[in-house]
Amino acid sequence: MSSNNLFIIGSESFVASHFVQKYSDNFTKIVGIDVKSEPSPLLDNYLQVDFLNDVYISKLHHFLQALNTNFSSILFTPGINYMNDIFSISSEEWENTYNVNLKSAVFILKELLNYMSNTTSIVLVASQNGVVAHENRIDYGTSKSALIQLAKNLSVDFTHIKNKDIRINCLSPSYIENKNNQPYLKSAAGKKLLQKIPYRKFVTLNDTSNAISFLLSSKSKAMRGQNLILDYGYTIV
């Protein structure tokens, strides 16, 4: 039986951490990279990186060489959200957002190409803000929209790798309940936001983990370059 190894970019995010806690038994080895100095104890290997400094690509190159491991599952979760509009956005914030939310996906996946298994599934966590407009998301929303387009372009590129079947899809959640945003979601503003959602529910971490599991599994093998929206109907009205 071949190994099912998972590589997580942004392994310490709420989404990635919950997924690992729930589905760690599905994987032979779990490797993560992120900005935090203390990684999850469920990871087998970890590399601390700064997504805002291109030096991390060289560090990643040597890290992967030393591991010498092939990965059949790859999960990308990093994201910066400064909550800007056209009047407040700075050039530095714009560049930082795109470096983390988009550029890192391109060049980390490029480094991982030689370490992808013969059959590999990649999931990029985008956002509903890449699908519909939202105030104060001028940099975040456009970067997530570009990430969704990236999955389409990479799907075409991957057809040129004849000895491997590499598929990539996006997951675009709505507001995800977590311990950091509970005060906001329970506030008057949060309750007003909830009224915009047809099913009057916020997405849970359990929702995102189940969707990621589906996209990484062979059950979604016919999905190529698609964007699965997880929002209890937010984007349909």
**60: number of CA atoms within 13 Å, CB side?**
27
66-99 per-position pLDDT tens digit? 999 999 999 999 999 999 999 999 999 999 999 9
119-171 per-position pLDDT tens digit? 999 999 999 999 999 999 999 999 999 999 999 999 999 999 999 999 999 99
9 closest CA partner among 63, 46, 52: 46
What would the CATH number be for the domain defined by 5-236? Answer: 3.40.50.720
Whether the predicted pLDDT of 113 surpasses 70: yes
Q: What is the mean pLDDT of residues 35-64?
A: 97
pTM: 0.96
Residue corresponding to tokens 């990308």: 76
Residue 201, judged by CB atoms within 10 A of its CB (0-12, 13-18, 19+), counts as middle
Q: What is the pLDDT of residue 2?
A: 64
d(CA 99, CA 79): 10
14 closest CA partner among 103, 79, 71: 79
Whether the predicted pLDDT of 1 surpasses 60: no
